[in-house]
Amino acid sequence: MAKYILKRVLRASVTLFIIITILFSLLRLMPIEGYFDNFDKVSSTEIQVKLNSLGLNDPLPKQLGRFYNQLLHGDLGTSNIYRRGVSINTIIAEKIPISVKFGLISFALSLVMGLALGIWMAYSTRTRFKIGDRLGTVLIVVVQAVPAAVYHIVIQFVGSQYAGIPMLFDEARPISYLLPILSLSIGNTAYYAMWLRRYMVDEANKDYVLLARAKGVPSGAISRRHIFRNAMVPLVQYIPGSILSTLMGSLYVESLYSIPGMGGLLVTAIKRQDNTLVQALVLIYAVVSILGLLFGDIMMAIVDPRISLAKKEGSR
Amino acid sequence: MSFFKKSADMLGDRLNEKLARDLDESAVLADEALAFSFAEFHPEAAERGGYSNYSYWRATVRAFFRNKTAVFFLCLMAATLLFTFIQPLLPGQKDPLEVHYGEWGLPLNNVPPNGEYWFGTNSIGQDLWSRIWAGTRTSLFIGFSVAVAEAVLGILAGVLWGYVRKLDFFFTELYNVLDNIPQTLLLILISYIMHPGVSTIIFALSLTGWLGMARFIRNQIIIIRDRDYNLASRCLGVPTRRVIFRNLLPYLVSVITMRMALAIPGAIGSEVFVTYIGIGLPVSIPSLGNLIQTGRSLMQMAVLRYQLIFPVAVLAVITISFYIIGNSFADAADPKNHVN
C-alpha cells in the first residue's frame, strides 16, 4: 500500500512538472497586449523595453528556469491590468475562501442528494411502475445532455423570475446562496445517482446476493451491508475529482452569479486580458486537477486493496 | 468375413424392404402418417445444418427500433437536421445578418414574435428565426467536425497503441500526462491565445478530445487482437493493415459511432461556454453560443425573454436527441441485448 502510494505520488510529480512546462510554453504565445494596461498609448520602443524588463524576450528555457525559481519561492508574479502592481498571491488569498465555501457546501449537498437519488432509483427498479427510476433517469439525461452552460442559465432564470430569489449573489442575504449552490451541485448529483444506481443494480444481480436472500437474510440488511457497500467502492474514486469539478464548474457559476471567487476571477482575467493573472490561475487549476486524480487513486487503493500499479502479466 | 458382410447386407436389404413396405402402407393411410414419411434429399438444405441466420447489424437495428424513446428522438433529430439545412432554401427566409428597418428608417429592434418575424428580432433588428437556424448550422458544424477529428485521431492512436506492442509504453505515458490536463482549461487557453473563430474552437476541442476514444479503442483491441481468427489471419500472412481494417475495426464500429454521437453535444456545449467567457465566436457569426449569451443578458426584461427561450429550446432538443440516440445505439449494439 505505502509503496503504491509512493509510486503514485512520484508519478504525479513528474506529470505535474511536464504539464506546468507545457502550459508555461503555451502561455508564452499569449497576446502581448495583456502585459500592458495602456497598450494603445505606448510606442513600440516602450513595448520592447517593458518586454525586455519582464524578461519576455529571453529564450524559452531561460524564462522557464526563472519561472520555476519564482514558483519555488511561492511567487506567482504581479497583476498587470486587473489590479495593477498587486501581487497575485494577495489577490488569490482574498478569493480562495469564498470558492472553497461554495465548493464544499455544494459538494456535500450533491453527495447526499446523489446517493439518496441513486438508492431510490435502484430500489425502484424492483417495484412495479419504476416511478423513481424513470423520474431519476429523466433528470440524469437532461443534466448530462444539456450543456452545463445552458442549464445554469435556466436555473438562474427560473429561480430569479418565478421563485423571487435574487439573481445575483449578495453576501448579506443568505437566500441568494441558494441558486448558485443548486447550480453547482446538480451536475454531481446526477453523476453520483447514475453510477450508484448502475453499480447497485449490477451488484443486486450477483450470486452471493441470491445466496444471502436464500439463506433468509432480511432484504434491508442485504441492501445496506452488501449491495450499497460494494457499489460505493468504484464511486470513491470520483469524490476527490468531483471536488475539483465543483471548482472547475464554479468557473462558470461564479461569474454567472457574480460571486467574488476564483472561477469568476479567471473569467474576469481573460476578459480583461491580464496575462500574468491568467497564467497563475491556469496553472493553479491544472495543479488542483492533478491532485484530484491523485487523491482519487489513493482513496481507491485504501478502499479496495486489490489495486496495484503492477503490470498485468500474461498478455502476449 | 464375406459371410458377415453378406449377412449384414441381407439384413440391410430386408430392413429396407420392410421400411418400404411400411412406407407404402402408411402412404395409403391417413394424412397424419405423412408426418413420419421420409424427407427428400436436398443438397442445399443439407448445407444449412447448424447455421444461424443471425446478422449483427440486423439485430442491432431491431434492438434499436424496439426502444420507442430512441425512435422518437431519432425522428425528432432527423427532422431538425433536415430542416436546419433546407431552411435557407425555403421561400421567404431572411438573411441572418441583415438589419431590418421599419417605415421611418429606424431599425426594427426587439420586435416580439409575430407573423413577419416568427421568433421576433434581436436588439439591433436582425431576424431571430433565421439567426437561430444559421446558429444551429454553425454549432452542428463545430460538433460534427470535432466528432470526426476525434474519431480519426482516436482510431489512429488507439490502433497503434493497442496493436503495436513497442508503442504501448510511449502511448501509455503520453496518455497519463495529457489526460491530466483539464479540457476546459486547454479550451480556454487555446481560445485566449489564438484568434477567436470556428476553427479555433474546433482545434482546441480536437486537441484533447481524441484521448478518450484512443484509450477505449486500445482496450478493445488488446482484448480481441489475439483471438483465434486474428491469429489465423496473421499465420496466413495477411498484412497488418488488412487485419486492422478487416478484422479489428468492424468490431468497433458501434462504439465509435456512439462516442461520436456523444461528442457532438459536448462540443456544442463547449462553444456556448467559451462564448460566455468572452473568447468564443464574434456576433457576426451566429451560433447557438452567442445567441444564448445575448439572450441571457436580456433575461431581466420579461418582454425580451423570447430571445433566450428560443435558442435554449433548440439547443436542448439537439443535445438531448444526440445523447439519447448515442446511448440507445450503444445498448442496441451490445450483442448481450440481441438474445431475445
Segment B45-75, tens digit of pLDDT: 776 666 667 777 888 888 888 888 899 999 9
Please tell me whether residues B227 and B261 are part of one structural domain. yes
Is B54 within a domain? no
Is B333 within a domain? yes
CATH label of the domain that carries residue B269: 1.10.3720.10
Residue whose C-alpha cell reads 461520436 in the numeric block: B260
Please tell me whether residues B232 and B330 are part of one structural domain. yes
Question: Which residues of chain A lie closer than 8 angstroms to B312, CB-CB?
Answer: 150, 153-154
How far away is chain A from the Cα of B114, in angstroms, using its nearest Cα? 24
Please tell me whether residues B76 and B10 are part of one structural domain. no
Residue B152 pLDDT exceeds 90 = yes
Please tell me whether residues B92 and B42 are part of one structural domain. no
Q: How far apart are CA B155 and CA B257, in angstroms?
A: 12
Please tell me whether residues B96 and B8 are part of one structural domain. no
Nearest to B181 among A19, A29, A266 (CB): A19
Is B56 within a domain? no
Q: How does pLDDT run across B172-196, given as a tens digit for each residue?
A: 888 888 887 777 788 888 888 887 7
Q: Is A248 near chain B, with CB under 8 Å?
A: yes
Question: Which residues of chain B lie closer than 8 angstroms to A285, CB-CB?
Answer: 182, 185
Please tell me whether residues B141 and B35 are part of one structural domain. no
Please tell me whether residues B39 and B140 are part of one structural domain. no
Contact A160, A179 (CB under 8 A): yes
Q: Is A301 near chain B, with CB under 8 Å?
A: no
Residue B227 pLDDT exceeds 60 = yes
Q: The domain containing residue B28 runs over which residues?
A: 2-47
Q: How far apart are CA A199 and CA B206, in angstroms?
A: 31
Q: How far apart are CA B228 and CA B226, in angstroms?
A: 6
CA B176 to chain centroid, in Å, comes to 27
Q: How far apart are CA B134 and CA B119, in angstroms?
A: 13
Q: How does pLDDT run across B97-140, given as a tens digit for each residue?
A: 777 776 676 777 777 777 777 777 777 777 888 888 888 999 99
Q: How far apart are CA A283 and CA A64, in angstroms?
A: 14
pLDDT grade for B7, boundaries at 50, 70 and 90: low
Q: How does pLDDT run across B19-29, given as a tens digit for each residue?
A: 666 656 655 55
pLDDT of residue B196: 79
Average pLDDT over residues B215-224: 86
Q: How does pLDDT run across A244-287, given as a tens digit for each residue?
A: 766 655 778 888 888 888 888 888 888 888 888 888 888 888 88
Inter-chain touch A167–B300, beta carbons under 8 Å: yes
Which of A153, A162, A275 best tests the B interface by mutation, with the highest count of B CBs <10 A? A153
Q: Is A144 near chain B, with CB under 8 Å?
A: yes
- Which residues neighbour B325 within 8 Å (Cβ) at sequence distance 6 or greater? B70, B73, B74, B77, B261
Inter-chain touch A22–B316, beta carbons under 8 Å: no
Please tell me whether residues B131 and B244 are part of one structural domain. yes
Average pLDDT over residues A4-32: 85
How far away is chain A from the Cα of B233, in angstroms, using its nearest Cα? 17
Burial of B311 (0-12, 13-18, 19+ CB in 10 A): buried
Nearest to B177 among A19, A157, A282 (CB): A19
Please tell me whether residues B232 and B177 are part of one structural domain. yes
Domains contained in chain B, number: 2
Average pLDDT over residues A132-141: 89
Is B59 within a domain? no
pLDDT of residue B145: 94
User: Number of CB pairs < 8 Å for A and B?
Assistant: 109
The closest alpha carbon to B193, from A45, A33, A83, A78, belongs to: A33
Q: Is A21 near chain B, with CB under 8 Å?
A: no
Please tell me whether residues B111 and B37 are part of one structural domain. no
Residue whose C-alpha cell reads 407404402 in the numeric block: B24
Burial of A45 (0-12, 13-18, 19+ CB in 10 A): exposed
State the number of CA atoms in the 13 A half-sphere of A271 facing the CB.
12
Q: Is A148 near chain B, with CB under 8 Å?
A: yes
The closest alpha carbon to A82, from A259, A302, A232, A281, belongs to: A281
pLDDT grade for A303, boundaries at 50, 70 and 90: confident
Beta bridge partners of A78: A87
Which of A150, A248, A253, A297 best tests the B interface by mutation, with the highest count of B CBs <10 A? A150
pLDDT grade for A113, boundaries at 50, 70 and 90: very high
Is B71 within a domain? yes
Question: Which residues of chain A lie closer than 8 angstroms to B289, CB-CB?
Answer: 149
User: For A33, which residue in chain B has the nearest alpha carbon?
Assistant: B193
How far away is chain B from the Cα of A289, in angstroms, using its nearest Cα? 7
Please tell me whether residues B37 and B160 are part of one structural domain. no
Is B87 within a domain? yes
pLDDT of residue B28: 55
pLDDT grade for B35, boundaries at 50, 70 and 90: low
Q: How far apart are CA B127 and CA A305, in angstroms?
A: 62
Residue B94 pLDDT exceeds 70 = yes
Higher pLDDT among residues A308 and B160, named by residue: B160
Contact B272, A150 (CB under 8 A): yes
Inter-chain touch B189–A251, beta carbons under 8 Å: no
Q: How does pLDDT run across B251-264, given as a tens digit for each residue?
A: 788 778 888 888 88
Contact B209, B183 (CB under 8 A): yes
- Which residues neighbour A33 within 8 Å (Cβ) at sequence distance 6 or greater? A39, A273
- Cα angle value B254/B259/B264 (rounded, 5°): 130
Higher pLDDT among residues A2 and B78, named by residue: B78
Please tell me whether residues B212 and B250 are part of one structural domain. yes
Nearest to B308 among A31, A157, A285 (CB): A157
Is B96 within a domain? yes
Is B232 within a domain? yes
